[in-house]
Amino acid sequence: MRRKLILLLVALLIISGMLTGCGTTPETQPAEGEQPEAVETMQINIITGSTGGTYFALGGAMANTWNEYLETVQVTSQPGGASVESINRVHAGEVGLGMAMNNIADDAWNGKGAFKSKQQNFRSIGVIYPEVYQGVALKGSGISSIEDCKGKRVAVGPVGSGTVVMTETVFTEAGMTFDDIKAAYDGFGDAASKMKDGHLDAAFNVLAVPAAAIQDIMTSRDIEVIEIGDDLYRKVKTKYPFFSQYVIPAGTYGNAEDKLTINCVAALYVAPDLPEDIVYDITKVWFEQTSHTAAAHGAAQWLADELAAGNKNVMLDGITTPLHPGAYKYFTEIGLDVPDMIKPID
């Protein structure tokens, strides 16, 4: 009897050791029928621009990247009226993310331009891509600078658009108003058609370089790039720090030499009440998987190239409104020197 008891104890010890080695002790066994704990997913909308435009297509590509790399969020892209509407709807709490020009965000924060009062219920995440202010004129119109536009037929951008705001800014610093020209409030597609037909002398818009609409004009007309030189740029930059100088390379539009202009940036803005960890993840994926987005839409390629070259400062270049704490956490984590003016506020 005693021998049988000893043998039984030995057998139990051996079995216990085998179970422990396999990690299947009763304490670690999942309960029968128990499902793995589900990851809670937050639904977030990003408002972009009109269908067919850069914002709409790029916003969709960005949403797909977030959805592929993050389990915590499901981002849905939706069309909108671009910059002004994006800021208005993020501010109103109607959407969680918005794409907008940084100068429009600055106007909203300070209650200027299209915003009659301060709208500050939004926070910044960072740069998406440069928005280049481009003006072209028909050869023979006598227009090569802003001042040359006086008395001419000039498209200044659609009513309520960021282009109109930029055109007003540039004209003001050049000592002009729209009263000095025959202003047409056309989008660049319509303006390009009118220039081809000879019904406009010049047109301005905010476009990627090279712009297909400008190249379209060149199929039937010779054009001149309207330059914003160093002196005018310095006047603009002194007053509006969100602008940068941009070089349109020689040959882009038949121009024999490089031409100077200015740019602001398309940037990503977010509702301030989104959780810090969610915004941190959104920021991290956008800046660390930019090449993935660029494979789907070329507008992200500029940022992908800059980051691949180690130019981290471009992530915040031109941002003048406060960051969301989640974005700030990411930038400090990678060692970026965040200017005091855009550090998070209560």
Residue-wise pLDDT for 162-215, tens only, equals 788 889 999 999 999 999 999 999 888 899 999 999 999 999 988 878 888 899
SS3 call for 255: coil
211 shares its domain with 336 = no
Q: Residue 93: which region, alpha, beta or left (left: phi > 0; alpha: psi -120 to 50)?
A: left
Q: Please name the helix (run of DSSP H) or strand (run of DSSP E) that holds residue 269, with its range, or none.
A: strand 259-270
Chain centre distance of CA 171: 25
**Residue (of 108, 58, 111) closest to 83 by Cα position:** 108
334 belongs to a structural domain: yes
How many domains does one find in the chain? 2
| Helix-then-strand count for the chain, H and E | 12, 10
**pLDDT below 50 — which residues of the chain?**
1-30
**Residue (of 121, 122, 123, 104) closest to 113 by Cα position:** 104
- Lookup result for tokens 């409104």: 321
Condensed to tens digits (0 to 9), the pLDDT of residues 84-115 reads 899 999 999 999 999 998 989 999 999 988 89
20 belongs to a structural domain: no
* pLDDT computed for residue 306 by the predictor: 93
163 shares its domain with 287 = no
Q: Which of 264, 291, 321 is the last residue before a domain boundary?
A: 264
11 belongs to a structural domain: no
C-alpha to C-alpha distances, 63 to 51, 55, 59, 66, 252, nearest whole angstrom: 15, 12, 6, 5, 31
* pLDDT computed for residue 78 by the predictor: 94
19 belongs to a structural domain: no
Domain limits for position 122 = 42-128+266-342
278 shares its domain with 242 = no
Q: Which of 211, 236, 264 is the last residue before a domain boundary?
A: 264
The residues facing 134 across adjacent strands are: 205
- Lookup result for tokens 């219920």: 121
CATH number at residue 121: 3.40.190.10
d(CA 216, CA 329): 44
End-to-end CA distance of the chain, in Å?
Answer: 77
9 belongs to a structural domain: no
* pLDDT computed for residue 147 by the predictor: 96
* Total residue count of the chain as it appears in this document: 346
SS3 call for 221: coil
148 shares its domain with 244 = yes
DSSP secondary structure letter of residue 23? T
- Lookup result for tokens 């007053």: 239
Alpha helices (H) in the chain, listed in sequence order: 2-21, 54-69, 83-91, 102-110, 162-173, 188-196, 212-217, 230-239, 276-288, 290-296, 301-308, 325-333
Model confidence, pTM: 0.75
Task: Report yes or no: 130 and 306 within 8 Å, Cβ to Cβ.
Answer: no
293 belongs to a structural domain: yes
Q: Which of 206, 232, 264 is the last residue before a domain boundary?
A: 264
206 shares its domain with 177 = yes
173 shares its domain with 239 = yes
**Residue (of 53, 66, 119) closest to 97 by Cα position:** 66
Angle at Cα 154 formed by Cα 148 and Cα 157, nearest 5°?
125
146 shares its domain with 243 = yes
